[in-house]
Amino acid sequence: MPDCPIDAEIDAGTATADRILADRTAFAERTRRGILVAEGDSWFDYPGADLLEVLQDDAGWEVASAAHWGDSLESMAYDDAQLTAFVRQLEWVKGRDEVPAAVLLSGGGNDFAGPEFGVFVGHQRSRRPGVDVALTDDFIGCRMLSVFFNIVAVVTRVCETLFGARIPILVHGYDYPVPDGRGFLSGWGPLPGPWLAPSLDRKNFTDLAEKKQIAAGIVDRYNDMLAEFVQRPTSAHVSYVDLRGTLSTGDNYRDYWANELHPTGRGCDLLAA
């Protein structure tokens, strides 16, 4: 019979549990700021580091989350199963006889990043190279804006029903990415990404500075839409957080960007500050 290190593994597992429990005990002893409910994409649900993790472990918030990497804003608004999962989180908070301090929404990136990203970019040799302003304005300024009105209406009605009040809602429009061709763990094989560079390469944009400029133009339009959205009378309880310029896109950008779309742990610390 092989000499399996069973006793050593039991000791190691016990030591690991003690270490993690000590970390969680230290977290629990901090001043508790309240509870947040979140729905979103990989900025809220990402292996290694995400914004919710920082809010929980470093900022003293409890977070009930239905966020899932890869989710589009449209699926958050129109998929009944996904909406039900989100409502369950709100019901869980109500079951604790608590009221959320806020609802956090993170979405939109998966609606235009990926293979479809090239649709919004004119070929470098065309008469209208770069961001297709008309198409982008229609998609973001009308379609995505409409989706936001829908999902905020859902969140508002559910919160009014469960808690008897309009709960504050926070939205963001991401930061300026660096389309350098890096995906999750470098995008090897079946792993996700890259999401931006392949489309730009096919449109004959090979200079990284040009790629960053194009991506920034679309992020700007998305943020403009959110800034407009929160000015509407029906959005008085919605706040827009402008994260643009928080993370470096200069020579040291890899310290803050794990890949084309997702921040590193250091980046998450800055974004959640």
What does the pLDDT look like over 126-175, one tens digit per residue?
Answer: 999 999 999 999 999 999 999 999 999 999 999 999 999 999 999 999 99
Domain total for the chain?
1
Higher pLDDT: 14 or 191? It is: 14
Asked if residue 189 belongs to a domain, the reply is yes
**73 inside domain:** yes
User: What is the pLDDT, as a whole number, of residue 135?
Assistant: 95
Cα 148 from Cα 108, distance rounded (Å): 9
28 located within any domain? no
Please list the helix, strand and coil fractions of the chain in percent, rounded to the nearest 5, in that order: 50, 10, 40
Q: Does 80 map to a domain?
A: yes
- Return the half-sphere exposure (C-beta side, CA atoms, 13 A cut-off) of residue 57: 12
What angle do the packed helices 80-95 and 145-163 form, to 10 degrees?
30
Q: Is residue 19 part of a domain?
A: no
Write down the pLDDT at residue 38: 98
Residue 7 lies in a domain: no
DSSP string, 52-81: HHHHHHTT-EEEEE---TT--HHHHHH-HH
pLDDT score of 84: 97
Burial of 2 (0-12, 13-18, 19+ CB in 10 A): exposed
Over 60: is that where the pLDDT of 124 sits?
yes
Q: Is the pLDDT of residue 215 over 80?
A: yes
pLDDT per residue over 41-80, tens digit each?
999 999 888 999 999 988 889 999 999 999 999 999 999 9
Residue 1 belongs to a domain: no
Give the least confident one: 119-123, 157-161, 188-192.
Answer: 188-192
pTM greater than 0.85? yes
CATH code of the domain covering residue 115: 3.40.50.1110
Domain hosting residue 148, numbered range: 33-272
Q: Is residue 142, in this structure, part of any structural domain at all?
A: yes
**Over pLDDT 90: what percentage of the chain?**
81
